[in-house]
Amino acid sequence: MTQTAWAPLSNAKHIDWVLASIKAHPEKWARARAARDAVWNAAYDAASTAASTAASTATFYTAASTATFYTAAMVATYEAAIGAIVALVAYDDCAYMIESEVGELKIIAKLGDQRAILLLPACIVYNETNALTNASIAV
């Protein structure tokens, strides 16, 4: 197995999940993108700055560019995934938020936690994907 540039990061498995999920479920990411707003943009800018100091800029851009952009609609959809990657690179202590309950993470995001703001779309997709997986197992 080829080692990725972000493999040494503590959140590497979550970055891998984001990248696999955006490829497998782009429609879920498109819906989750609705969680973005001006607060998301400010959190993204702050996390990008933190990511550039927390890990090499090359590592961040390698992970972020793994998702290939084809159309403007796809670029807009991928922005939510890129935000999650930025948070996972910038903040070592935030991966658990992806697996949180959506309502709880929305509250934390509304309180201004930049990690929660950036990871809310990933949390939505994660919970939707798990709900589908669990429902198919139960049937």
Calculate Rg over the CA atoms of the chain.
14
Residue 118: pLDDT above 60?
yes
Question: DSSP string spanning 55-83?
Answer: S-HHHHHHHHTTSPP-SHHHHHHHHHHHH
Distance of alpha carbon 81 from alpha carbon 19, whole angstroms: 8
- Prediction pTM value: 0.72
Q: What pLDDT score does 126 carry?
A: 95
Cβ–Cβ under 8 Å, residues 112 and 27: no
Residue 23: pLDDT above 50?
yes
Sign, CA dihedral 66-10-79-44, equals negative
Mean of pLDDT over the chain = 80
Distance of alpha carbon 44 from alpha carbon 82, whole angstroms: 9
Q: Domain ranges in the chain?
A: 12-138
